[in-house]
Structure 1
Amino acid sequence: MKTAVIYNSDLHFEHKQWESELAFWKDELKSFNNRLGELVTRWTDKDVLAQLEHYQNEFILHGNVIEDLQEAMEKHEMNISEHSNKLGDTMDVPMFSTHKEIREKMETQRQIYADLKKDFFRFLSKYM
């Protein structure tokens, strides 16, 4: 039976991809918040303003998740680096488990964020 080898460099590459994605999300959130600011000045209807507040809260929550993911990746990246210095370029099982957890969180958040964007764009098309 052949055992798969997981290399630290592969995990590092995936981290870089995630970091780029998170940076893009952060930038998008700034743009979305700017849109909210524009809409606040256009609308006085309480229902619309409540929806604006809802999206503002969602964007804040998503920004917090981004920060949490960035922190987890940074910590994991440091562990990978220390591991590489001690044992070479292959990954041990517990460290890969941590990587898989972060991957699952990224995949979940990717879906949550995509749904949020769809809803927000529908909202914008209705009230812009």
Structure 2
Amino acid sequence: MKTAIINNSDLHFEHKQWKSELDFWNDELKSFKNRLSELASRWTDKEVLAQLEHYQNEFILHGGIIEDLQEAIEKHEMNISGHSDENHESLDVAMVKNHLKFREKMETQRQIYADLKKEFFRFLSKYM
């Protein structure tokens, strides 16, 4: 049975992709918050304002999650860098397992964020 070797460069490449995705989400959240401000100035209905507050809270929460994910990526990058300094081309099993868990976190968050966006766009199409 052949064992797959995972190189530092492979993980670094995936980190770069995740960082770009998180940066994009941050930019989108700014745009969504601007839409909320526009709607808040147009509506006085308590039900609509409650929904605006709900989305505002969701966007704040998601922004915090993005920060946590970015910090975790940086931490893992530092760990990879330490291995590179020691001339280790591949990582140990524990680090790879951590990376795979983080990949699952990203996939889960990607789905949560996509669902939030769909819900928000339905809301916008109703009240814009």
TM-score for the superposition, normalised by structure 2: 0.98
2:121 equivalent to 1:121: yes
Amino acid at match of 1:34: N
Distance 1:2 1:41 in 2: 62
Distance 2:98 2:66 in 1: 17
What SS does the aligned partner of 1:90 have? coil
Q: Which residue of 1 aligns with 2:51?
A: 51
Distance 1:2 1:123 in 2: 51
1:84 shift after superposition: 1.6
2:78 equivalent to 1:78: yes
Distance 2:39 2:116 in 1: 18
Counterparts in 2 of 1:11-50, with a 5 A limit? 11-50=11-50
Q: Which residue of 2 aligns with 1:95?
A: 95
What SS does the aligned partner of 1:29 have? helix
Q: Which residue of 2 aligns with 1:6?
A: 6
Note the residue ranges of structure 2 that are not aligned, 5 or more in a row. Answer: none
1:87 shift after superposition: 4.0
TM-score for the superposition, normalised by structure 1: 0.98
Q: Which residue of 2 aligns with 1:68?
A: 68
Deviations 1:68-100 (A, max 9, x none): 000000000000110121142111101111111
Deviations 1:35-80 (A, max 9, x none): 0000000000000000000000000000000000000000000001
Note the residue ranges of structure 1 that are not aligned, 5 or more in a row. Answer: none
